[in-house]
């Protein structure tokens, strides 16, 4: 049996916050705003996994009104989601993600993001792909007001 899920998430870029994407801290003059650490990539992956098993979204599992998740490490949230996936009897077929960010350049950080995601999803790195695009200075990502990420996941059992 196979199941597919997709995820999409956006966080605002602000001064005075660290920029954490895919479990990696990036050097930048702004960071993402959120109730948690605002890791837009891990959130979209979590949503894709939850979608694939018909379990709603991360807001349902980790409400942003719950103080327990204030400044939460999104790697821990994704680990919890992956436990749900495993309990449903699935493993990773493959995962493909795109980060939309005008700056900073993601390419130098992508190998480490891939390593972290592969550890969290207990799958070989060859099953995980992370891409980035600038959106050519257009829209909120192009104006550097925020960063967006999308993901598609295939689960198998």
Ligand X SMILES: Nc1ccn([C@@H]2O[C@H](COP(=O)(O)O)[C@@H](O)[C@H]2O)c(=O)n1
> 132 contacts which partner out of ligand CDI, ligand X, none, CB within 5 to 8 A by kind?
ligand X
> 69 contacts which partner out of ligand CDI, ligand X, none, CB within 5 to 8 A by kind?
ligand CDI
28 is in an annotated binding site: no
Angle at 67 between CA 24 and CA 16, to 5 degrees: 45
3, 9, 85, 152: which one binds ligand CDI (CB under 6 A): 9
Question: What gap in Å lies between CA 59 and CA 138, rounded to an integer?
Answer: 28
Question: What gap in Å lies between CA 135 and CA 130, rounded to an integer?
Answer: 16
Using N-to-C axis directions, what is the helix angle for 74-87 and 110-120, rounded to 10°?
A: 40
* Beta-bridge mates of residue 156: 2, 91
Question: What gap in Å lies between CA 56 and CA 73, rounded to an integer?
Answer: 20
Residue 35 makes contact with ligand CDI by CB under 6 A: yes
> 59 contacts which partner out of ligand X, ligand CDI, none, CB within 5 to 8 A by kind?
ligand CDI
Number of residues that bind ligand X (CB under 6 A): 7
107 is in an annotated binding site: yes
136 is in an annotated binding site: yes
Is 51:6 a contact under the CB 8 Å cutoff? yes
Site residues (CB under 6 A) for ligand X? 101, 105-107, 132-134
Site residues (CB under 6 A) for ligand CDI? 9, 34-36, 38, 43, 58-59, 62-64, 69, 72
């Amino acid at each position: 049996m196979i199941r597919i899920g997709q995820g999409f998430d956006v966080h605002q870029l602000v001064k005075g916050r660290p920029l954490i994407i895919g479990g990696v801290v990036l050097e930048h003059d702004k960071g993402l705003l959120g109730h948690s650490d605002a890791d837009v990539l891990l959130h979209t992956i979590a949503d894709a996994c939850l979608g694939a098993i018909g379990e709603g979204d991360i807001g349902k599992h980790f409400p942003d009104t719950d103080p327990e998740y204030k400044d939460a490490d999104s790697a821990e949230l994704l680990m919890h989601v992956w436990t749900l996936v495993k309990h449903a009897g699935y493993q990773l077929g493959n995962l493909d993600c795109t980060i939309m960010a005008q700056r900073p350049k993601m390419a130098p950080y992508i190998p480490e993001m891939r390593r972290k995601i592969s550890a969290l999803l207990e799958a070989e790195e060859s099953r995980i792909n992370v891409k980035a695009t600038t959106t050519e200075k257009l829209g909120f990502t192009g104006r550097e007001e925020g960063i967006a990420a999308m993901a598609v996941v295939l689960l198998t059992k």
